[in-house]
Amino acid sequence: MPPVQVGKEDLHLRHVEKDVLIPKIMREKAKERCSDQVQAFTQCCKDTGFLMVVKCRKENSALKECLTSHYTDPDFYEECKMEYLKEREEFRTTGIRTKNRLQKLPSSM
């Protein structure tokens, strides 16, 4: 992905962008990257029902480990931040939301 060109005024991220919108992208992308673990955990839960808390510990641990490795990776955060900035810039120039990620939020945040 080519680097996003941002102006000086675009370098400042609002609290909601840093703490809500970029982490939302991170969660979506991490789930995609950990899809094998998500599927294994989901299948285990479907197969065991109420006993999933006990029976699916291994699958749950593998899923948590995979997701946490992405959430704590600074390069992954930067990748998601650049994706967000690109989407934000496209919205600002075209007025068209992409991937329903950009949401209208109060400007006072």
> What tens digit of pLDDT does each residue of 49-84 get?
888 889 999 999 999 999 999 999 999 999 999 999
Tell me if 60 is assigned to some domain.
Answer: yes
Q: What is the pLDDT of residue 1?
A: 43
What total of structural domains would you count in the chain?
A: 1
Tell me if 104 is assigned to some domain.
Answer: no
Tell me if 4 is assigned to some domain.
Answer: no
Tell me if 39 is assigned to some domain.
Answer: yes
Sequence letter at residue 65: E
Whether the per-residue pLDDT at 104 is higher than 90: the answer is no
Tell me if 2 is assigned to some domain.
Answer: no
SS3 34: coil
- 63-79 residues labelled b (16+ CB within 10 A) or e (exposed): beebbeebeeeeebbeb
Domain that holds residue 27: 15-93
Q: What is the pLDDT of residue 99?
A: 66
